[in-house]
Amino acid sequence: EPEVTQTPSHQVTQMGQEVILRCVPISNHLYFYWYRQILGQKVEFLVSFYNNEISEKSEIFDDQFSVERPDGSNFTLKIRSTKLEDSAMYFCASSQLDRMSAEDTEAFFGQGTRLTVV
Amino acid sequence: AQSVTQPDIHITVSEGASLELRCNYSYGATPYLFWYVQSPGQGLQLLLKYFSGDTLVQGIKGFEAEFKRSQSSFNLRKPSVHWSDAAEYFCAVGAQATGANNLFFGTGTRLTVIP
């Protein structure tokens, strides 16, 4: 069964450092997403991406965040200068159609990257 | 605005017992509703989804959920729990096709299954 893979599974970084979280979406999917879950809180939408552009972003996704599809397979989330409050589980997802929520499509999620900022 | 509440942070059931995980949503129109499961080390996997029609939805792994508009609920059920069902369960609501292309999740319910 196809799957979304994320690396690394756990990353520890010092406050102020840049981090890049990597995701390999399912190969024939065209729409990509990042979500995060701060411990004990809800899974929150960060950004969606299609055709090398951001489609939507939440208010969480400020100038410290950026996304990129550097090649044909990877989809990355960069946090430019990490803060303690960026510590969370980050989930990548992909879907074939332009809706996460649609009757005839399904978004597939990766296993997550746990980011710890110290 | 959409939101989801999962009142139970942690539930423990015995193997073979029945299970019900609660989910309440807030949304102004008819919602799209989802249940996802995350087993240890795995990604979020879609169990089932409701869009329209029959309010009792069947999913994978023997799960079902019932949409009750009057109660704004979408509770997940399983008649007999297996040890492999131990995981984190997330309820989510999605907007209908009005341009919003993301899901709103609850905080999750951790299920522990005891022998």
Mapped onto helix, strand or coil, the DSSP state of residue A89 is strand
pLDDT at B1: 72
pLDDT at B96: 56
| Predicted confidence (pLDDT) per residue in B15-73, tens digit | 999 999 999 998 877 788 999 999 887 888 999 998 888 899 999 999 999 999 999 99
B5 CB within 8 Å of a chain A CB:
no
| Predicted confidence (pLDDT) per residue in A69-102, tens digit | 988 789 999 999 999 999 999 999 998 876 666 6
Instruction: Provide CB contacts within 8 A for B42, sequence distance 6+.
Output: A111
Q: What is the mean pLDDT of chain A?
A: 91
Q: Chain B: residue nearest A89 by CA?
A: B43
- Residue B26 Cα distances to A58, B34, B75, B110, angstroms: 19, 14, 14, 22
pLDDT score of A103 more than 80: no
End-to-end distance of chain B based on CA atoms, in angstroms?
41
A40 CB within 8 Å of a chain B CB:
yes
pLDDT score of B98 more than 60: no
Of A57, A39, A37, which Cα lies nearest the Cα of A48?
A57
Q: What is the mean pLDDT of residues A45-57?
A: 91
pLDDT score of A64 more than 60: yes
Of B5, B2, B49, B6, which Cα lies nearest the Cα of B27?
B2
Residue A3 with chain B: CB contacts under 8 Å: 43
| Predicted confidence (pLDDT) per residue in A14-43, tens digit | 999 999 999 999 988 889 999 999 988 888
Q: What is the mean pLDDT of residues A58-68?
A: 95
Cβ distance B57 to B66 under 8 Å? yes
